[in-house]
Amino acid sequence: MILHDFLPSGNGYKIRLLCACLGLNVTLKEYDITKGETHTESFLAINPNGKIPVLELDNGQCLSESNAILLYLTEQNHLTQQHQSALLPADPILKARVYQWLFWEQYSHEPNIASPRFWLTHNAMTDLKKRMLPDRIQQGHVALKLMDDTLAQHTFLVGDAMTLADICLFPYTHVAEEGGAYQLSEYPNIQRWIKQIEALDWFIPITQG
């Protein structure tokens, strides 16, 4: 499999982190999104939406949308013994709770935490984005508080076992401070959760392909 990616991307890192967890090998093909490299004719042929990550399967089929890729890889590579828990629980309610976090991440977390980080760290600020920033940051704090309150109740987002919800939310949460919009010291339960994930034996950092 080939992962079309941009290393600083949290959306791409979700897939790299899951592959590390599942012990899957992927070949990384990097694009510089700041130079429009995902809008070339050849890239648009693999994702007409012009965005990484794209997972190219061995049969040449291409999947986009990070959380769809997470679900595909998890369902294709069931594991329970090695990690003592299923990343996507079989129980319908627990599985729905994982889905809740995945959909919530795209609507309430990523636009408020990942986008400001990108604008502030990649010199991508425009007048419109400057006007949007205070509201995004306020909503980002709401999202971080919701995660922190949840993590005060149990070890991981869906209970005391790690699931795909944690793999999905870890990438942009752990770098939320980049760009200066957020201070994770305000969220002690998130800090504890980050340390726990970083201590897992299969963990890889965002900088690793």
Ligand X SMILES: N[C@@H](CCC(=O)N[C@@H](CS)C(=O)NCC(=O)O)C(=O)O
Stretch that binds ligand X, among 20-28, 47-55, 70-78, 188-196 (CB under 6 A): 47-55
Query: In the bound complex, what is the minimum distance in angstroms from residue 170's beta carbon to ligand X?
Result: 14
- 80's tokens: 């329970």
**Residue range at the interface with ligand X (CB under 6 A); choices 6-14, 75-83, 147-155, 195-203:** 6-14
Residue 172 CB, shortest distance to ligand X, in Å, is: 9
Question: Which residue in 23, 27, 25 sits closest to 2, CA to CA?
Answer: 27
Q: How far is 30 from 38, CA to CA, in rounded Å?
A: 10
Q: Residue for token digits 């990097």? A: 30
For the sheet containing 27-30, what is the strand order?
Answer: 27-30, 2-5, 54-56, 62-64
Residue 9 makes contact with ligand X by CB under 6 A: yes
Q: Which residues contact 132 (CB under 8 A, 6 or more apart)?
A: none
Rounded CA separation 96/198 (Å) = 26
**Interactions with ligand X, residue window 131-190 (CB under 6 A):** none
CB of 50 to ligand X, least distance (A): 5
Of 52 and 71, which CB lies nearer to ligand X in the complex structure? 52
- Least distance (Å) between residue 27 CB and ligand X: 18
Q: Which residues bind ligand X (CB under 6 A)?
A: 6, 9, 11, 33, 38, 50-53, 65-67, 106
